[in-house]
Structure 1
Amino acid sequence: MSSILQSFSLAGRTALLTGSSAGIGLALARGLAGAGARVILNARSVDKLERAAAALRAEGAQVETAAFDVTSGEAVAAAVARIEAEVGPIDILVNNAGMQRRAPLDQFAEADWHELMKTNLDSVFLVGQAVARHMMTRRRGKIINICSVQSELGRPGIAPYMASKGAVKMLTKGMAIDWGPHGIQVNGLGPGYFKTELTQALVDNTEFTQWLVNRTPARRWGDVEDLVGAAVFLSSEASNFVNGHVLYVDGGVTAQL
């Protein structure tokens, strides 16, 4: 039994998590740190990063910070090179940075479309490629791309978001195909509806919450802690033969029509 549990340990591993100063990203960082990893938090705001890092350090976590724009190829390349040289090899990458814009598709602004795609899709390609190039030389690595139930299902008013997350799902599979022969496992983690700062308005909407609870077999919103076990699994040796898979943590939403 001890050897099985050992395969889930992240002791001695370093994990970079994009968009991890709050919400799901911070919860995943806390979870990976709890499994033994040294975590590198990323966001554009230095102040938010330092507050998040201080909170994790107070809990005993090993934490570094890296403030850079994940939508800029130049910034990403420089940051990844600096981390590899000064902090150490990146063993685990979690591409979590993302955003949402809501509007009827016929009224969706072109500028908002490009901003959303850059944040949700381009960043996964840019950071994934930069980190994978180092992982390939070491012939090992774990990459987790944060997908969504909207990688599979739709809702009114969020068609561009759905397009971006559907693309992340397929990019995940493409990464697994191209980088699998180099010892890298690339998988997706697909959250359902979770209570975070970004969804608070929906949580507070009684009508929406009632619809969601009735639509979800688990009959509740997700708590960010519900994602941690899946993230640790996909980051650990326990998932060494899992590649190109999207693991939905959604209370059963994608299972029910």
Structure 2
Amino acid sequence: MDNLVALFFDPAAWAALVTLVAMEVVLGIDNLVFIAVLSNKLPPEKRVRTQRIGIGLALVLRLLLLGTIAWITRLTQPAFSLFDHAFSWRDVVLMGGGLFLVWKATKEIHHNVSQSDEEESTGETLVGLTARAAIIQILMLDLVFSVDSIVTAVGMTSHLAIMYIAVIVAVAAMLFAAGPLTRFIDHNPTIIVLALSFLLVIGMTLIAEGFGTHVPKGYIYAAMAFSAFVEGMNMLARRARHNRRLKQVV
């Protein structure tokens, strides 16, 4: 208890907390996009409940992983060598998560294109995912990002309480933003392919990290922000053309 009081009045602890929360929120963008894309494959009445269950279980998973932080940090030690390159278990987790994201994003892009053709012919919206499958996939990906973020957090602070608070705040922000982002993607179908492209890039980044090639996240997020800006301009242009057509009809 005395340690917590000392941390509360320590400016360095507050600086570490703010930095760690910002890092967790930024790293959570990848997970949030994935959750939003998955949620749009569910029936509308199941989306909010599935998101809450998935993100809630993800929070429990992260808190449990923080309790095994000593074991997590050992995952960065070389475990085996292949083709004269040493791999750690963290590298294996990152590569597995990256391959999963590449496979999932590629499959969803193909499914989205073929589904659009079928919807045009039938006039019905197709749903191809169960709530249980969505929750399992959310937890699988969150496990990958959790291991990476915990290893990064250890290098920023040695106080476990700060890590717990940062994770809780970041997951709360994710829970708050999941609904609006899902609705935005649902109301703007052209965003789906862009979001899946982001996941494809993130998957390739995880694979590169697993092979020991560090890719600065700033470059990735800057490219994502620029692409989102361009798509936003296209959306405004399409809306303006639509409004002009309505005025001409009237």
More strand by share: 1
Assess same fold via TM > 0.5: no
More helix by share: 2
**When the two structures are superposed, what TM-score results if normalisation uses the length of structure 1?**
0.25
Larger Rg: 2
